[in-house]
Amino acid sequence: MSTSPARLLLTALAMSAGFPQPGQLSAVQSDGDTNFMVFLPSNWRAGADETFPVLLYLHGGGGVKKPERVVGQALGRILSGVPPKGPGDPTFLGGPAWPGAGNEEENRDFAAGFPFITLIPVSNQRGWQPQFDNLMSLLDNVAVKQLQGDPRRVYLAGQSMGGNGAWGLSAANPGKFAAIAPFCGFYSKSEYTMEDQVPAEDAGFLSALKDQPIWTFHAEADGVVAKSLTDAIVNALRGAGAGENLKY
């Protein structure tokens, strides 16, 4: 397979910048504006002409300024290839271990087959909104230009504060993401507020997202972010014309 000199140079720079070996999650690093971790698929090879889908994953509020928590839960935990944690894990939040949380082998198998170049930024503040420009720069300059990410297959997911960020970042960049998956998220009228409805005057939010492929989730018993906040977004989008592209 042929490889252009420009591609070889960019990927050589990427590896020298401390990006991980394929199939591994990196330590925290920085592009100058954003701290982040990166995961490369097991079949990723520097300099190859093959491109890969990209996932930008936004963590929740518990990870603000705490990268050990970002890698200690949810997707970061799984891609690190160590045993899952859940509520009450004695090495994380205290209390008895969470039964049925899986095992290290399952996480290693998941990471080995995970096909996405994955960027997991670490926020230094509550709310992702002030960081939207930096996040888009991270996608373009790191995932696409340095790591062979396919700009047509860029996906976005986020949890809680990250779910809020996923809704907002996608609305602010219509057409950028192939699909988004916010879970236990919420709508913000300003930089970081929890609103129980999407106002009709926010036509930009509704028009940007009504045709966006979306799969969103929210637990009925969520005691931190009420499920009604995702209900409000889904109802507003359906009222604006969203159809089968919106799954909930």
Could you please report the per-residue DSSP string of 190-230?
SSS--BSS--TT-HHHHHHHTTS-EE-B--TT-SSS-HHHH
Confidence of residue 165 (pLDDT cuts 50, 70, 90): very high
Confidence of residue 93 (pLDDT cuts 50, 70, 90): very low
pLDDT attached to residue 92: 47
Measured between alpha carbons, how far is 138 from 121 in angstroms, rounded to an integer? Answer: 9
Give me the percent of the chain exceeding a pLDDT of 70. 84
The residue-averaged pLDDT of 61-84 equals 84
| Tokens 């720079």, residue located | 13
pTM for this structure? 0.87
Please check whether residue 122 is in contact with residue 28, taking contact to mean a CB–CB distance below 8 angstroms: yes
Please check whether residue 166 is in contact with residue 181, taking contact to mean a CB–CB distance below 8 angstroms: yes
Across-strand partners of 29?
A: 36
